[in-house]
């Protein structure tokens, strides 16, 4: 009889305890959901778009040797969860980049690497033209709250001192006005170095791209870190 009463009491307790335990588990899971959401958000990849010309597209190079792919590889080696879309089109001027800006940006893009202006310079366009187009690109990205990392370009000395001064300064001016990080000269360490250039003397070969990417990395890594 005592055993029967004990079993009855234990059964009654379990009938009460099981819903209570289940309720506590559900409550704990509900409390954990915000933390799980945060963890998923922190693990989400940073998606960058590299908007540029042939220097970005990887002229005559396999896609995995183009600058965006090499930058992505180096960032991943540093532990960054990042993808970089190659939106480089050979021959593009700043006007061309501006014209295709909207459809070059997928939904959810985290930031844009702007690398335009070389073809404006090669065509001898007045520096006011790329300045205005790049400003328009910055303005549109600012409206969408998309941060920008800019790769600058420099005019060769044979263009004349005045032209070089006006052209070279436009990148620093735009970066300062928009609070954007600037790598001053995209071809630093590669321009004029035959070992790092294709036979045309203008475009980097695979080794040249690697040099460019490694020089850009410290600033780009900081840029990506700020996006997270």
Same domain, 38 and 113: no
For the segment 108-129, the average pLDDT, to the nearest whole number, is 98
Q: Give the chain's mean pLDDT.
A: 86
For the segment 169-180, the average pLDDT, to the nearest whole number, is 98
Closest CA to 202 of 50, 60, 49: 60
Same domain, 57 and 38: no
Same domain, 107 and 4: no
Measured from the Cβ of residue 140, the count of other Cβ atoms closer than 10 Å reads 14
Please state, in angstroms and as integers, the Cα–Cα distance from residue 69 to each residue in 29, 53, 85, following that order.
40, 15, 8
Number of domains in the chain: 2
- Does residue 18 have a pLDDT over 60? no
- Does residue 20 have a pLDDT over 80? no
Same domain, 37 and 82: no
What are the residues facing 47 on neighbouring strands? 83
Which positions are annotated as active-site residues? 54, 200, 203
Residue 40 vs residue 116, higher pLDDT: 116
pTM of full prediction above 0.85: no
Same domain, 20 and 30: yes
Phi, psi of 91 (to 5 degrees): 90, -5
Same domain, 149 and 79: yes
**CATH assignment of the domain containing 147:** 3.40.50.1110
Same domain, 8 and 104: no
Same domain, 28 and 57: no
Same domain, 214 and 149: yes
For the segment 178-206, the average pLDDT, to the nearest whole number, is 98
**Confidence class of residue 43 from pLDDT cuts 50, 70 and 90?**
low
Same domain, 194 and 86: yes
Same domain, 192 and 148: yes
Please state, in angstroms and as integers, the Cα–Cα distance from residue 171 to each residue in 70, 87, 108, 114, 166, following that order.
24, 20, 26, 11, 10
Range(s) of the domain holding residue 15? 1-43
User: What one-character DSSP code corresponds to residue 1?
Assistant: -
Same domain, 13 and 125: no
Please check whether residue 58 is in contact with residue 67, taking contact to mean a CB–CB distance below 8 angstroms.
yes
For the segment 193-216, the average pLDDT, to the nearest whole number, is 98
């Amino acid at each position: 009889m005592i055993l029967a009463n004990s079993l009855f009491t234990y059964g009654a307790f379990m009938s009460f305890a099981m819903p209570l335990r289940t309720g506590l588990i559900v409550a704990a899971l509900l409390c954990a959901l915000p933390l799980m959401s945060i963890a998923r958000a922190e693990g989400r990849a940073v998606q960058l778009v590299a908007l540029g010309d042939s220097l970005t597209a990887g002229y005559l190079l396999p896609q995995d040797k183009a600058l965006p792919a090499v930058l992505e590889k180096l960032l991943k080696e540093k532990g960054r969860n990042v993808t970089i879309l190659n939106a480089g089109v050979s021959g593009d001027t700043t006007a061309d980049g501006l014209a295709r800006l909207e459809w070059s940006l997928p939904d959810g893009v985290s930031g844009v690497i702007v690398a335009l202006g070389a073809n404006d310079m090669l065509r001898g366009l007045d520096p006011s033209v790329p300045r205005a187009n790049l400003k328009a690109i910055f303005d549109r990205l600012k409206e969408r709250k998309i941060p920008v990392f800019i790769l600058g370009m420099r005019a060769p000395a044979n263009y004349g001192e005045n032209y070089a001064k006006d052209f070279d300064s436009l990148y620093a001016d735009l970066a300062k006005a928009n609070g954007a990080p600037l790598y001053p000269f995209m071809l630093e360490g590669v321009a004029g170095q035959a070992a790092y250039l294709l036979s045309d003397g203008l475009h980097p070969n695979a080794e040249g791209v690697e040099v460019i990417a490694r020089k850009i990395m410290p600033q780009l890594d900081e840029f990506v870190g700020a996006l997270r």
